[in-house]
Each structure stands twice: as structure tokens, then as C-alpha cells.
Chain A
Amino acid sequence: MDEWNFFIHQVVPALNRGLVQSMWLILPSASIGLCLGALVGTLRAYGPLPLRKACDIYATVFRGTPLLVQLFVLYFGLPSIGIYLSPYTAAVLGFILCTGAYQSEYVRGAFLSIRRGQLLATQALGFSSMQSMLWVILPQAMRRALPGCGNEIIYLIKYSSLAYIITFIELTGEGKILAVKYFRYTEVFFAIGLYYLFMVTLANFLLTWLEKKLYIPGFGRG
């Protein structure tokens, strides 16, 4: 019964609080990061050369260094040049930049997978570049990119836990404090794991629903 009380009165309220904080991190990071990735990915596939190179460098840097290092630079490093970010701002900014770099890779791949012939066909029908992009390339690229982008969002849900290291107390942070206080690591971290599993399942459910909704016979399968 003692166990039960501990869970109901200590673990669940703390983790619920943490869950809300995690959501505050994940929702803006995932949505803004996806937009950033779409923009950067588009520029990397079709942009003018200097811009394309700049975006390539951005993606290389942010995919090539650990997220934790990026967060440390944002939170502990920037003050040395006079920029002070709150833990929340530093975390969200770091997540957006990191996830944007990965998303750009999925988006770029999706664009490159579209047969050039379809672009020729739009040109031959008198489409402007903007019109081909909007009505032929994007609807297809979006469907091609969806599984990869969804995967990245699922990653983001889990690596959002790194925010607690730069002192933004979210789900993992709340749990860690609790575990240390009561010296009950196993139960608490197991519960944290379940919370993440819950978020990922929810995200997966939404992504599968979206994939079904956008399904087109024969498209992207074989």
C-alpha cells in the first residue's frame, strides 16, 4: 500500500507536471523545426548555389555534433559573448536547430526522389515553376517525406529529455529529482519510460492516421 501511495501522491503529480513542461518543449520545437526543415530542405534541393551551400553547412554542423554539446553552447557558451538565454529558450532553440537539420535531410531526399519527367511534363503544359512546385512537386514530396519526418518527431520527443541538463525541469528532470529524493530509481525511471512511451504512441497514432489519409494507390509503395 505504501508503494501505491508513493505512486499516486508523489510520482504521478510530479511526472504530470513534467509532462506538461515536456509538451511545452516538444510542440513548438517539432512544428517550427519541421517548417525550418521544409524550408532548408527545399533550398538544399532547388536553391541558388550560395544559399544551397550555406544550408548544407548548417545541416552538416547540426547533424555532426551532439545535441548536448549544442545545448551547452547555447546555454553556457553564449553568455561569454553577452547573450543570455533562459533554459527554456536555449532548449527550444537547440531542439529547433537540431531537428530542422534532420528534417531538411528527409525533405531534400523526398524532392530528389521525384522523377524529373514529371517536372518536364508540367513545363510542357505551361506551368510556371511556382505552379509546378505547388501542384505537382509538393504534394508528392510531402507524402514521400512523411515517414522520415514522423520518425524525426518521435526522436525529438525522446531527446527533449536533454533539456533537464541545462536546468529546464521537464519530465525526466522531475523524475530525476524525485528518484534522488526518495532513492527509488527503478520505479521512477520505469514510470518515466512509460510516460515517453505514451507520448510516442500518441504521435505514432497521429502519423499513421495522416499517412492513411494521404494514401494514394501505388504511390510510394513499389
Chain B
Amino acid sequence: MTDQTMVLRVENISKRLGGRQILKDVSLELHRGELKVLIGPSGGGKSTLLQCINFLIPPDEGRIWLGEQQIEIHRKQDLYAYRQKVGMIFQDFNLFDHLNALDNVSIALRKVKKIARKDAEERAMRELERVGLGDKTTLYPSQLSGGQKQRVSIARALAMDPEALLLDEPTSALDPELIGEVLGVIRNLAQDGMTMIMATHQLGFIRTLADDILFMQDGQIIEQGSPAELLDAENGSRTQAFCAKLNELSDESET
């Protein structure tokens, strides 16, 4: 699915928070249709990196391009336009508590993109059907399960026609039996050629779908490569050791 068109380029991002260096000189490139996966120990900077990419946390240093255009954080209108094109999925969903599923998806279309209510709702309806929630449009967040909430949040991001999606551990706040439905939706997106960066520890998913793995530790990308390269039991990579550990833990919890 990957072609050589550059969608997103991140160059030398650094960030200090509370006197601690969270990100050190991180760079990455994302091509059209590519799925890059961020893994690594918690506190390694995965979440901060994703939030720096759409300036929810402004990086101290570094530059970011969307296609050919370098993003100037100080030009508010440019920043808002950029964020509309880079969707974000949060670990804890962050749905709007006062809106039902349909309005959660359509509100940004109506208020930010200024699309007429009827068209916005039609579009929202299509996106909710795409994530398998066509029959849940009138329910409020408190009436949805975790997996359903995360699927609404994916529909909300998709409705904006993003050029890339940033997914920050989208399944780690979910009960084990709900993970599958969310991963299923993301899998379909990957197969349809959506460009994505995703922090996740779902190894099965990573093995089958990731084009590239970025292993992050102490605010740096210390290893990068395809799943075949990095997860090969023979190669002694840091990534492989980490994943073996994850495997052990998940085996233990299942027995």
C-alpha cells in the first residue's frame, strides 16, 4: 500500500518537561499508506512524541512538514488547518460527554469546517457505519462501552478526511474482550491505505500490519526496522527482547 509520497516529516524534535528531557532529537518520515508503530517502555516518550506532532504539546525544537508545507505553530489559522488534516486517537477516547455519538462525530464538521448540519450528519452517519456503529448514533458516551467509545472517536477523526492518523495506545484502556473490535477497525483502515503512526503493544497486530517499527526509549528512537527484521528471535535487538518480555507477561496473565 505504501508509495513514496511523503505525508508527514518530523525533524529533530526535542522537548523538556519539568526539567526532564522527554524527547531528544527525534526524526521520522511517514509515507502515504504507511503504518508505523511506536513501541517501547512507558515513560519512553511515545505519547509526548505523538502529541508534539500535532502541537498539543509544543516541541521546544524541531520542524514538522505536512506534505511540502512546513507548519508554523505561531500562525494560528495554519495550526488549526494542519490539525484538521492530522487526526488523533487518544488512549482514553476523549469523547464529548454532552453529545451523542452522531453529534460527537459531526460537531467538528459543523463548527470547524462549517459544513451544513444536514451534510455533516450524513457524513457522520457514514463514518459511524464504517466503524460498525450505525445503530448507536443517538447514544451518549455514558451509554457506550469502551470499545464503542473508541470506535466513535475513530469515526470522529475520519470524518475530518485526515491525511494521517496519530493513535496513542488506542486499546490500552480497554477490557481485553473489547480490544478486538477496535483493532479490527484499525486493521480495515490500514488495508484501505490510511497513513498512520500508532503507539501500541499489540504484538499480533504489529507483526501482521506494521510496515515499520520504531522502538523508543529515554526519548529517542533507538531501533527502527520492519517487523521481520526487528522481531526475529535470532537478531538480539532491543525490540525483540522487549517483545519477548511482553509475550511472557501476556502468557502469564492467560494461565
Query: Residues of A at under 8 Å CB distance from B?
Result: 115, 117-118, 120-128, 131, 134-136, 139-140, 143, 216-219
Contact = CB atoms under 8 A, between A and B. Distances in A.
A219 B143 contact: no
A123 B94 contact: no
28 contacts: A117-B92, A117-B93, A118-B94, A118-B97, A121-B95, A121-B96, A121-B153, A123-B56, A124-B56, A124-B88, A125-B83, A125-B84, A125-B112, A126-B83, A127-B111, A131-B111, A131-B112, A134-B111, A135-B107, A135-B111, A136-B96, A139-B98, A140-B97, A216-B98, A216-B140, A217-B142, A217-B143, A219-B140
Contact of A117 (B83, B94, B107, B108): B94
B74 interface: no
Contacts of A218: 97, 140-143
Contacts of B88: 120-121, 124
Contacts of A128: 76, 80
Contact of B142 (A117, A124, A219): A219
Given A121-B94, A124-B54, A125-B84, 12 more contacts: A120-B88, A120-B90, A121-B88, A124-B90, A125-B112, A126-B82, A126-B160, A128-B76, A131-B112, A135-B111, A143-B98, A219-B140
Contacts, number: 81
B32 interface: no
Instruction: Tell which of B98, B142, B156 has the most Cβ of chain A within 10 Å.
Output: B98
| A-B pairs with lowest CB-CB distance, top 6 | A218-B142, A126-B84, A124-B88, A121-B94, A117-B94, A125-B108
A219 B94 contact: no
A219 B142 CA distance: 7
A196 B83 CA distance: 54
Contacts of A126: 80-84, 108, 112, 160
Contacts of A120: 51, 56, 88, 90, 94
Interface in B94-123: 94-98, 107-108, 111-112
Instruction: Tell which of A120, A124, A128, A143 has the most Cβ of chain B within 10 Å.
Output: A124
Contacts of A219: 97-98, 140, 142
A115 to B, nearest CB: 7
A216 to B, nearest CB: 5
B87 interface: yes
Contacts of B153: 121
Interface in B188-228: none
Contacts of A136: 96, 98, 107
Interface string B19-59: 00000000000000000000000000000000100101000
B94 A115 contact: yes
A125 B160 contact: yes
Contacts of B97: 115, 118, 140, 216, 218-219
Contact of A118 (B83, B96, B142): B96
Contact of B108 (A127, A140, A216, A217): A127
Interface in B138-161: 139-143, 153, 156-157, 160
Contacts of B157: 125
A216 B98 CA distance: 7
Contacts of A216: 97-98, 140
Contact of B80 (A118, A127, A134): A127
A36 B237 CA distance: 62
A143 B140 CA distance: 15
Nearest to A131: B111
Nearest to A220: B97
